[in-house]
Chains A and B, each alone.
Chain A
Amino acid sequence: MPLVLEIISPEKLLLSRDVDMVVIPGTEGDIGVLPGHSKLITGLRGGLVDIYENNTITDRFFVPGGFAEVTESYCAVLADGIIRQSDLDPAKAAEAVTAAQAAYDATDMNNEEAYRLATDRLISAQAMVDSISPQRSDKV
């Protein structure tokens, strides 16, 4: 039984295909999803979505954050957009971190909501830089 992976942005369905396993970057840590996974709703931090087929990673996408819904037969990733890992641009990523850092520094620490948004943005930008040359090995 294959697992259907859907990556959806508010504007459109970005990707929908059958995969053997997918690893998604949950807020509390990476989650590997195999077919038959128990029902789960989780927030996502910025990071890489790894698609496994035949025990190798066939595709890696960077997501800037969002949500994921997992059931026995499918995994739906709700993200703002995806970038293929090989297409990530170090210059753009560095720029995003600088901008996010500036926004973070300018944020009023007492405003819980704004503080959380700025933190999320910084973490997501940093994750983009880290995703360009991930520490994790590509081998399984």
Chain B
Amino acid sequence: MPSLKTLRNRINSVKSTQKITSAMKMVAAAKLRRAQAQAEASRPYAKRMGDMMGALAAAEAANPNAPALLVGNGRDKTHLLLAITADRGLAGAFNGNISKHVRLQVQALEAQGKTVKIFTLGRKGNDSLRRDLDSKIIGTKNFVGKKTLEFSDAEAIAQTIIGLFRDEAFDVCTLVFNRFHSVMTQTVTETPLIPAATPTANDNAAGDQNYEVEPDDGTLLDRLLPRNLAVQIYAALLENSAGFYASQMTAMDSATRNAGDMIKKLSLTYNRARQANITKELIEIISGAEAV
């Protein structure tokens, strides 16, 4: 039986932990709202960009000289996984899920005889993957200390990726990130970046509308494709940050609740021990008095 003093210390320490987790939960909730608003605001641009890409890509799909960013460079030997995680932890399995998925994907691709390279965005993913896959990581970037994510950040990353593609460092690029469904659920999602998703017959509804294009399909696609890449990365980064705060909020909420349970249990033990002490003292006094 632990002494009363140790129990008291224990209860106090759990209480202060609970204060911290509940504060973190509230901070995460406030940041989640901002992140969600930011993700919401970026949607019109992404939608219009997607529409335009769809219309242009449909026209260009049959062209043998279509840009490599759109249809790929004809090989699929080397895969690049662009893994997006958060820069901070204490968010449940949020970052772990991405690392796990990347590891599985690396195994699956290597089993098919492909070469795999990894580019990490976010500190946590890099820390975790570099332990066993260090040799495969060809680049990393994080946003530690950055308050809000700007489009120029995503653009810089897109430029780096395109540079690597032009230098033939990889043939196929896939984005791995947590898609934000709701505060409770974020799912690991894969999106092909290069080659850009080739539109299927169903997506071609936009193609029927026959857009006029100026200056011409090829020139415009050359400008549009890098832009589209940046937009997709930006959207994924925003989803990632919204998902992170949601996940952190949930994790901190359950931590607060667990701390509450623990305090209850410890208080019960503490009160029992105190009562036992009092009873013991009474018995001692009474039996002492009887002996006289």
Contacts and interface: CB of A to CB of B under 8 A. Distances in A.
A27 interface: yes
Given A69-B52, A78-B48, A41 B223 contact: no
B214 A12 contact: no
B52 A67 contact: yes
Residue of A11, A28, A67 ringed by the most chain B CB atoms within 10 A: A11
Interface in A6-58: 6, 8-13, 26-28, 38-43
B214 A26 contact: yes
Contact of A8 (B44, B154, B224): B44
Nearest to A42: B214
B188 to A, nearest CB: 24
Contact of B48 (A8, A11, A38): A8
Interface in B27-85: 38, 41-42, 44-46, 48-49, 51-52, 55-56
B180 interface: no
Contact of A41 (B42, B211, B234): B211
B215 A41 contact: no
A130 interface: no
B134 interface: no
A41 B52 contact: yes
Contacts of A8: 44-45, 48
B53 to A, nearest CB: 10
Given A41-B55, A76-B48, A10 B214 contact: no
Contacts of A78: 45, 48-49, 52
Residue of B38, B46, B49 ringed by the most chain A CB atoms within 10 A: B49
Contacts of B44: 6, 8, 12-13
Contact of A40 (B38, B46, B213): B213
Contacts of B52: 41, 67, 69, 78
A30 to B, nearest CB: 12
Given A12-B42, A69-B48, A69-B52, A40 B219 contact: no
A6 B44 CA distance: 10
Contact of A9 (B45, B56, B212, B220): B45
Residue of B209, B212, B214 ringed by the most chain A CB atoms within 10 A: B214
Nearest 9 Cβ contacts at the A-B interface: A12-B41, A10-B151, A42-B214, A40-B212, A8-B45, A39-B211, A41-B211, A10-B45, A13-B44
Interface of A: 6, 8-13, 26-28, 38-43, 67, 69, 76, 78, 80, 113, 116
Given A28-B215, A43-B214, A43-B215, 15 more contacts: A8-B44, A10-B42, A10-B45, A10-B151, A10-B154, A10-B231, A13-B44, A26-B214, A39-B209, A41-B56, A42-B213, A43-B220, A67-B52, A69-B48, A113-B166
Interface of B: 38, 41-42, 44-46, 48-49, 51-52, 55-56, 150-151, 154, 166, 209-215, 219-220, 222-224, 227, 230-231, 234
